[in-house]
A and B are shown apart, each in its own frame.
Chain A
Amino acid sequence: MEPIIQARGLAKRYGNHQALNQVSFDIAPGRIVGLIGPNGAGKTTALKGILGLAEVEGELSVLGMNPVKQRRELLEQVSFIADTAILPRWLKVSEAVEYAASVHPKFNRAKAEAFLAKTKINPKSKISSLSKGMITQLHLSLIMAIDSKLLVLDEPTLGLDILYRKQFYTSLLNDYFDAEKTILITTHQVEEVETILTDLVFINDGQLVLNVAMEDIAERFVEVHINKQQQDQAAALKPIHVSPRLGGHTAIFENAERAQLEALGSLHTPSITDLFVAKIQPNVAWGHAQ
């Protein structure tokens, strides 16, 4: 299937800072991709490029279009929440709905109103009088009512409490997502998107460090608990990351022979958080033990 996003050699430099450095990836339709990286890794720059908000070097095609040159056409197919709680404060809820309904050909007004009816938001109130959680709900209601092919969410749950976060992802999956749609989420709160992602992209210092489908993670990465006695044996198998734990270490191996590892101890699939640390800040020194 034709990829939704095709990026080849993306680069962007702000003064001395290389925000993106030769990043290439494809995103296929029907996926939920997590673009994950520490602050300043280049996530937002990549998203801005994809949304046509900023020009980036390299080849970039989104739904077959050039995001900067065909931004208006692109935005009929792509919706995004760049940052929550950025809705203009003077706008009324009903006006926000009316605006989207008039300018967006793919906006379904009834759907938006149905979403809003489930919340406590009064259509007559001004956004300045809503709480942060309500603004996010409103924004999400507007965006989910757009029948877009690609939804881009940049740190969508920043500053929200746990209840809203749960609700956010639940409604995203239940009310919006289907096989025709693609969602691209950036966040640095890995654990909360873990369960919904189909693909994982790690980015650090402007470079792509990992691009893997969730179902391949178990096959590709293995986590083993290692006793002190087995340290040398484990080190020989070249773990990508080692972290100390009670009574020994946890080592993460990439593409290692399972048979050899089984001799060391029981095998697990690493959590995405651990994998994130392993990829972003790898540590192969055996800490105090050595």
Chain B
Amino acid sequence: MNNYITPIKREFWEFRGTFTWLPVISAALISLCMIAALALYASGVINYSITDDDFHITTDSHKTHSHEERLIIERDALVEARKDLQQASDEVHQRFTEDMSVDIEKELDKAQKELDRQGIDITIKRTELRIDHGKIREEVGRQINREIERIDTKIARIDAELAQQPMHRVPPVAPVAPAAPAADGAIADAPEPAAPKASEIRRFPETVTVIERSEDVGFTDDNIESVNDVLTGFNALFSGLMLMVSIYYLLSCLYTDRKDNSILFWKSMPVSETQQVLTKLGVALVALPTIASLCALVVGIVFVILTMLYVAGYAASTSPWDILMGVELFSVAIGHWFTAMGVALWSLPFFAWLIFCSAAAKRSPFMLAILPPAVLMIAEEIIFDSNLLLELVSDRIPGIAVDDNGFSGYVRFSESGISPLGEFIASPALWVGLIVAAGITYAAIWLRNNRYEI
């Protein structure tokens, strides 16, 4: 058993800088930065405030605004938000009227008449989708009213707090009398929101994110979602880092021992070249992504703990327990790891090519890896005016990105559009790639056995 494990260890001895220290130090630095950020926040150097479920980023520091002033700013913002909501509520009322249907009918009639007049034989038919306007109006109105209600409670809370301030100051704007949210029709009676005065300067925050907690789904806090997005981001970050390490490693692993002549020492040990080449491929494609996932997991755990501390200290309604229940630390890490394995299979021809170049290069494996394919591609472009090779190759080169939805991944891999596991395993493209990769790997082993002395 040891004769299989020790050659793997050997790779970690040789590349201890990039395999071990690089990810560990990166993880430590990121964790330290996060801890420092929280510490700075707690000590009041950075001001990033949270009220209830809402995140407001205030760029002003303590120095320019007292606590009281900030309360007033926030109160103003809430009053603005309330106005916006009120406006929305009115629009809902105006938009959904039965009149719309009649208007459409009239328009269509007109169009039909025009067609008939011109002798065009088209009959316009209208299929009406039954929409319960009343129901929609009621539901939307109800939700908006609930928000208004919430804002009102917040305003009331701020007012109460302001009242407790030692230097009591009357808020500049008198609180808007909360509209009594009631049954369906009530919205129509809501007072018309006062148009904002042109001279009035809206103070930051301009928008207030309102996060809805709906009772039936349970806890679906957007904040928790963004915590998960951050965890995915960590995975993408470390995968990207270790992917670069893999490329560097595969290009140099069968080259450096030939350069410094130590290949003669390794060849004096009874380890076959087949085992050595496969060990190196395994290290690059399995061990390194695993290290990336582990580092992302550790940084993720630190991040979740810090988030919980933050929430415990500064959020009123979200509890650390909610965070702990909501995050998907392990499923994100494991999912990402499996993606990495998929990428390893899908991009195996690419990785095999790198290790082949490492075994074959006389001077620079990097140049050997890049130049001949580039020359072939340009030749193809000139002679046949096509980019077949380029498409084939670029499809197999892994890349890392996080998309808008927070799905991190290996770009090319997901672009290939065969991500469902069943389709992936069954796709002929995968198997053709694996066969090509096997051929290239065999060539690398052959070179190690026969032409290492170049």
Q: Which residues of A contact B (CB under 8 A)?
A: 48, 51, 53-55, 68, 71-76, 79-83, 86-92, 95, 98-105, 139, 143
Does residue B69 face the partner (Cβ distance < 8 Å to A)? no
Total contacts A to B, CB within 8 angstroms?
79
Residues on the B chain within 8 Å of A105, using CB: 270
25 CB contacts below 8 A, A to B, read A53-B264, A53-B452, A53-B453, A68-B449, A72-B270, A72-B272, A74-B270, A76-B270, A80-B268, A86-B261, A86-B262, A86-B264, A87-B265, A88-B262, A89-B262, A91-B13, A92-B13, A98-B9, A102-B3, A102-B5, A102-B6, A103-B2, A103-B6, A103-B270, A104-B270
Does residue B267 face the partner (Cβ distance < 8 Å to A)? yes
On whether the beta carbons of B260 and A88 are closer than 8 Å, the reply is: yes
Does residue B14 face the partner (Cβ distance < 8 Å to A)? yes
Query: Complex formed: what's the CA distance from A53 to B10 in Å?
Result: 22
Give the nearest-CB partner of B256 in chain A. Answer: A88
Query: Complex formed: what's the CA distance from A54 to B267 in Å?
Result: 12
On whether the beta carbons of B267 and A53 are closer than 8 Å, the reply is: yes
Query: Complex formed: what's the CA distance from A92 to B14 in Å?
Result: 10
B interface residues, how many (CB within 8 angstroms): 26
Contact flags B265-279 to A (C-beta < 8 A → 1, else 0): 111111110000000
Residues on the A chain within 8 Å of B272, using CB: 71-72
Q: How close is B291's CB to chain A, nearest CB, in angstroms?
A: 19
Of B9, B260, B265, B449, most A-chain CB atoms within 10 Å: B265
Q: A54-B450, A76-B270 are in contact. List 9 more A-B contacts (CB 8 A).
A: A53-B452, A75-B269, A83-B261, A86-B264, A87-B262, A89-B260, A90-B13, A102-B3, A143-B268
Query: Complex formed: what's the CA distance from A98 to B262 in Å?
Result: 17
Does residue B257 face the partner (Cβ distance < 8 Å to A)? yes
Query: Complex formed: what's the CA distance from A232 to B450 in Å?
Result: 55
| Residues of B421-453 whose CB lies within 8 A of A | 449-450, 452-453
Does residue B399 face the partner (Cβ distance < 8 Å to A)? no
Top 5 nearest A-B pairs (CB, nearest first) are A102-B6, A88-B262, A75-B270, A82-B264, A102-B2
On whether the beta carbons of A83 and B264 are closer than 8 Å, the reply is: yes
Does residue B7 face the partner (Cβ distance < 8 Å to A)? yes
Residues on the A chain within 8 Å of B3, using CB: 102-103
Query: Complex formed: what's the CA distance from A80 to B266 in Å?
Result: 11
Query: Complex formed: what's the CA distance from A104 to B266 in Å?
Result: 11
Residues on the A chain within 8 Å of B453, using CB: 48, 53-54
Residues on the A chain within 8 Å of B9, using CB: 98-99
On whether the beta carbons of B13 and A95 are closer than 8 Å, the reply is: yes
| Residues of B233-266 whose CB lies within 8 A of A | 257, 260-262, 264-266
Query: Complex formed: what's the CA distance from A54 to B6 in Å?
Result: 26
A79 is contacted by which of B13, B260, B268 (Cβ under 8 Å)?
Answer: B268
Residues on the A chain within 8 Å of B13, using CB: 90-92, 95
Residues on the A chain within 8 Å of B266, using CB: 88
On whether the beta carbons of B6 and A99 are closer than 8 Å, the reply is: yes
Residues on the A chain within 8 Å of B257, using CB: 88
Query: Complex formed: what's the CA distance from A54 to B10 in Å?
Result: 25
